[in-house]
């Protein structure tokens, strides 16, 4: 993934790459900023003994800082994990407390630090030189799309569905403020690429089935309005991963003009 990131930051350094809904506004990240932060964090982690084969706990909802941590691990040949590592990156103090309660006794860096706590931004600001990154491929030239990331970045299928296309093809990727705001943020973003687990698609179908009377979609305008309300009216690629999608669920969404593509959870190539 690092080879793709470097190619993207070289070809379009100042282009917008990521957006995050935070504190009531959408904050942007450029390709050159992402590469600089990933390089600096990789150097800081390496200085703390994390290298090839190492593991870093990532306890965070999807957000740009979580992706930067994933990419810094990839730079070092390390792996982000949910537990069982001596070093952790957590989103909030509550996440750090949960790690401690689960038995984590190592260092914890907070994405949203409290006074006196180690913050991820401070770690990045150290900016020590990282080791050379692994060899990677150059960007491919597929049509760039605007994506929306709401699933765990520890899931290889989410990496394959959203992160690799972002790095390989360009485009942009938006993150919701919190899981509880994902539906509202999705309706604002109206992405061209959207991925969710099979269970999330099933839950959405059940929710819509309770709220929308049967036969309502016989009218084309009703289906168009529902797609707009969901924020999926511009979607060109809809992905289901993390399980087998029930045929009735795929048929339901096809009936409102949303064709779902299933992908398997495979290893993420470098």
Q: Give the domain CATH number at 255.
A: 3.40.50
For residue 182, what is the enclosing H or E element?
A: helix 182-189
In the predicted structure, residue 139 carries a pLDDT above the cut 90: no
- pLDDT score, position 16: 92
Distance of alpha carbon 212 from alpha carbon 101, whole angstroms = 43
Count of beta carbons in the 10 Å neighbourhood of residue 211: 9
Asked if residue 32 belongs to a domain, the reply is: no
**Residue 117 and residue 237: Cα distance in Å, rounded?**
41
Which domain does 248 fall in, by range?
Answer: 146-262
Residue 81 · residue 57 · CB < 8 Å: yes
Answer whether 172's CB lies under 8 Å from 147's CB.
yes
Q: What is the pLDDT of residues 56-80, one digit of tens each?
A: 999 999 999 999 999 999 999 999 9
DSSP assignment letter at 217? G
Q: What pLDDT is recorded for position 193?
A: 93
Residue 117 lies in a domain: no
Q: pLDDT tens across 143-191, in order?
A: 889 999 988 888 888 888 889 889 988 899 999 998 889 889 999 999 9
Specify the number of domains making up the chain.
1
- Candidates 124, 123, 146, 98; CA nearest to 36 is 124
Residue 217 lies in a domain: yes
Mean pLDDT computed over 131-151: 77
Q: What pLDDT, on the 0 to 100 scale, is given for residue 217?
A: 59
Going by their DSSP bridges, the two strands 25-30 and 55-59 should be labelled as: unpaired
Q: Give the rounded percent of residues in the chain with a pLDDT score beyond 90.
A: 52
Contact in structure between 96 and 127 (CB atoms under 8 Å): no
Residue 66 lies in a domain: no
Residue 238 pairs in a beta bridge with 194, 260
In a domain, 93, yes or no: no
> Given a cut of 50, is residue 216 above it in pLDDT?
yes
- Rounded Cα distance, 58 and 95, in Å: 10
Other beta carbons within 10 angstroms of residue 164's beta carbon come to: 16
For residue 14, tell me if it sits in a domain. Answer: no
pLDDT at 140: 56
Q: Does residue 55 lie in a domain region?
A: no
Q: What is the DSSP letter of 257?
A: T
**Per-residue model confidence as pLDDT tens digits over 238-265:** 999 888 889 999 988 998 889 999 887 5
Side by side, which strands form the sheet with 87-90?
A: 79-81, 55-59, 87-90, 107-110
Asked if residue 35 is part of any domain, the answer here is: no
Question: At a CB cut-off of 8 Å and minimum separation 6, what does 210 contact?
Answer: none
């Amino acid at each position: 993934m690092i080879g793709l990131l470097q190619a993207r930051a070289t070809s379009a350094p100042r282009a917008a790459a990521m957006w995050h809904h935070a504190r009531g506004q959408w904050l942007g990240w450029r390709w050159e900023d992402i590469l600089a932060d990933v390089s600096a964090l990789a150097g800081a982690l390496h200085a703390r003994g994390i290298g090839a084969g190492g593991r870093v706990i990532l306890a965070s909802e999807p957000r740009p800082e979580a992706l930067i941590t994933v990419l810094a691990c990839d730079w070092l040949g390390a792996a982000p994990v949910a537990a069982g590592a001596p070093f952790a990156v957590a989103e909030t103090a509550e996440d750090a407390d949960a790690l401690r309660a689960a038995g984590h006794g190592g260092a914890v860096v907070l994405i949203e630090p409290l006074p006196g706590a180690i913050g991820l931004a401070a770690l990045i600001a150290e900016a020590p030189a990282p080791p050379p990154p692994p060899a990677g491929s150059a960007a491919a030239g597929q049509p760039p799309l605007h994506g929306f990331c709401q699933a765990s970045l520890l899931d290889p299928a989410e990496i394959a569905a959203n992160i690799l296309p972002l790095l390989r093809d360009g485009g942009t990727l938006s993150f919701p403020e919190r899981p509880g705001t994902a539906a509202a943020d999705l309706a604002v973003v109206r992405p061209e690429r959207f991925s969710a687990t099979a269970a999330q698609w099933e839950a959405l179908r059940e929710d819509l089935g309770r709220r929308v009377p049967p036969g309502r979609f016989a009218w084309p305008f009703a289906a168009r309005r529902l797609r707009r309300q969901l924020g999926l009216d511009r979607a060109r690629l809809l992905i289901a991963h993390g399980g087998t999608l029930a045929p009735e669920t795929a048929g339901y969404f096809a009936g409102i003009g949303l064709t779902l593509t299933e992908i398997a959870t495979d290893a993420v190539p470098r």
